[in-house]
Amino acid sequence: MCSRRTGLTGARTALERNHNQQGNASAIGLDRQHARSDTIPSFKSFPSFEHPGGGIRPVTKPPFRANLPDRPMPIAGVDLVEEILELKRERNAVILAHNYQVREIQELADFVGDSLGLSFKAAETDADVIAFCGVHFMAETAKIVNARKKVVLPDLDAGCSLSESCPAERLEAHLAEHAEKNYYVVAYINCSAGVKALSDVICTSGNAMRIVQAAPADRNILFVPDQNLGAWVMEKTGRKMDVWKGNCYVHVEFTRASIDRIKAEYPDAKVVAHPECTYAVRMLADEVCSTERMIGYCKNSPAREFIIVTESGMLHRLRREAPEKVFIPGPTETCACADCRFMKMNTLDKLYDCLLNLEPEIVLPEDIRARAEKPIRRMLQLSA
């Protein structure tokens, strides 16, 4: 296990500190280079934080057992699922799964949705532990809004090309170099805790237009880190912004040609694309929206077939939410669908291990966590 720096001052996980003591940890994180490209609970979904609200059934809190007895590694399949559920009860944990996780994890999770909405759902529970099945910045976000809960991530190497395109140190240097612009920094939620701490307000893909429209008229806006989402927001709002040159490697793999080909094969299908896609792809879409809004759009549309232009994990949730509809994965030039290699790093085996050992744990310096929480709270105020 490698170490990882988080935030502006080098927060480290509890696990990596142990490895540092052994002298075999290597620094990664903000400047990291990717080293490598009972019963099952009922499915629960909820509104995105573009539309805050929705209730939650509180977790029944069992006695917490700090020292669990030795247990054999369960075999794959039902035994592993049962062991994970038992560990979840013993740890008084809540399992969160992002929309892009594999089917097995989505079906096991207490909540499935977008990253910020999941973090606030966890805050409404009395769980002591959050097992976040997503990528690193999502687990950081959960820690930012759940300071007193232990947050664990099944695979610490589950990073994000978009988040890592905007390291906090580079953003801080950019703001200092262009201090005369007095930037109002709007940060897409897909960024590190350090970047959030440098921002004025956070946005999601669902509320980005509203947040930008609410920005002070006398301030220059710097939108980070996604250039495609930023361009789409400018198209929709007419508000000029300077945009950080970052992107999600999955969404930029969709091309006009690849979507044209699948449209020719399914001429009656509606094309639904995420705003992280390029302009050429967005121009082909019948609807451009966040993952949460995709669900409502597809449910309410009279169309029966939909070409979904986002990460492949979203197809599973759509099929569960709207089983009467047909969902076709948007292809790239090289693949019939689009898998995020980082999202797919999380597995049931790794989820079991992280609940058993309560690591890798996400740990943030309190000053960074508190500074990062402010722009999130400001977003909530502007979205109310």
pLDDT, mean of residues 103-125: 95
List the one residue out of 50, 370, 381, 368 whose CA is nearest residue 201: 381
pLDDT at res. 336: 84
The DSSP bridge partners found for residue 306 are: 270, 327
Structure tokens at 182: 């007095």
pLDDT tens for residues 206-223? 999 999 999 999 999 999
pLDDT, mean of residues 54-75: 36
Q: How many angstroms separate the CA atoms of 53 and 39, rounded?
A: 28
Q: How many angstroms separate the CA atoms of 318 and 280, rounded?
A: 24
pLDDT, mean of residues 47-59: 33
The DSSP bridge partners found for residue 189 are: none
pLDDT, mean of residues 298-325: 97
pLDDT at res. 43: 30
Structure tokens at 19: 């490895």
pLDDT at res. 78: 64
Asked whether the predicted pLDDT for residue 28 surpasses 90, the reply is: no
Asked whether the predicted pLDDT for residue 261 surpasses 90, the reply is: yes
Torsion of CA 177, 144, 354, 2, to 10 degrees: 20
- Distances in Å between the Cα of 317 and the Cα atoms of 5, 106, 294 are 33, 8, 10
- Per-chain mean pLDDT for the chain: 84
pLDDT at res. 1: 35
pLDDT at res. 384: 74
